[in-house]
Amino acid sequence: MSGPAMQVRLLSERAVLPRYQTEGAAGMDLSACLPEERPEIVLEPGRIAVIPTGIAVAVPVGFEAQVRPRSGLGTKHGITLPNAPGTIDSDYRGEVLVPLINHGREPFTVTHGMRVAQMVIAPVARVAVQAVERLDETGRGVGGFGSTGRQ
C-alpha cells in the first residue's frame, strides 16, 4: 500500500529517517537526534523536555502529520506527549520537535537514536465557517462531559 510522497530533510548527519517498523504499522517512528557532546537527556518525574529529531518534513497538502506517543514508553515508563496528538501542518518546514513528559515515578533517560514518538499521516477536511443564530436540535442537545453515559 502506498500513498502520497512526503519529503524529509535531514538537518543533522546524526538524524534518523522516520520509518514504519512493520507492514501494518499506522505510524512511523520518530527518533531523538541529540548532539555528540550531549547524547542523553534525563527527564525527571513531572518534567517536560523538547526532544529534537533532526528532521524537517513537507507534509503533502490536504494532510497533517499527527505526532503521537509510543505505547511502550507510556505503559512501561509513563512517558507520553503533553499535547497528544500534536499536529504538523502541511505548510510547516521547521524541525520536528517532540515534547515528552514523564508521568512515571523514576527519572527516564532519552538517548540519541531512541524512538520517542510516532508520526501518523492523516487527511484533513476543511470546512466553511458560518455564524448562525441557532443550531439544529439533537437528542443530546447541550449535554457535556459524561452526558452520554447517564441513564
DSSP H stretches of helix in 37-150: 71-77
In order of 136, 137, 145, the CA distances from 148 in angstroms are 18, 16, 8
pLDDT tens string 24-41: 999 999 999 999 999 999
Q: How many Cα atoms within 13 Å fall on the side-chain side of residue 141?
A: 3
Residue type, 50: V
Measure the CA–CA gap between 29 and 105, rounded to whole angstroms. 25
What pLDDT, on a 0 to 100 scale, did the predictor assign at position 146? 73
Tell me which of 2.70.40.10, 2.10.260.10, 2.60.120.10, 2.70.50.60 is the CATH number of domain 7-125: 2.70.40.10
**What Cα–Cα distance (Å) separates residue 31 from each residue in 1, 16, 50, 126?**
24, 6, 12, 31
Residue 149 has pLDDT above 80, yes or no: no
Q: Return d(Cα 86, Cα 91) in angstroms, integer.
A: 15
- Kindly state the cell numbers that stand for 148: 452520554
pLDDT in tens, 125-147: 999 999 999 999 998 888 887 77
Q: Please report, for the chain, the start and end positions of each structural domain, with discontinuous segments joined by +.
A: 7-125
Sign of CA dihedral 68, 72, 73, 76: positive
Residue 106, pLDDT score: 97
Q: Is the pLDDT of residue 148 over 80?
A: no
Average pLDDT rounded to a whole number, residues 51-68: 98
DSSP letter (8 states) at residue 19? B
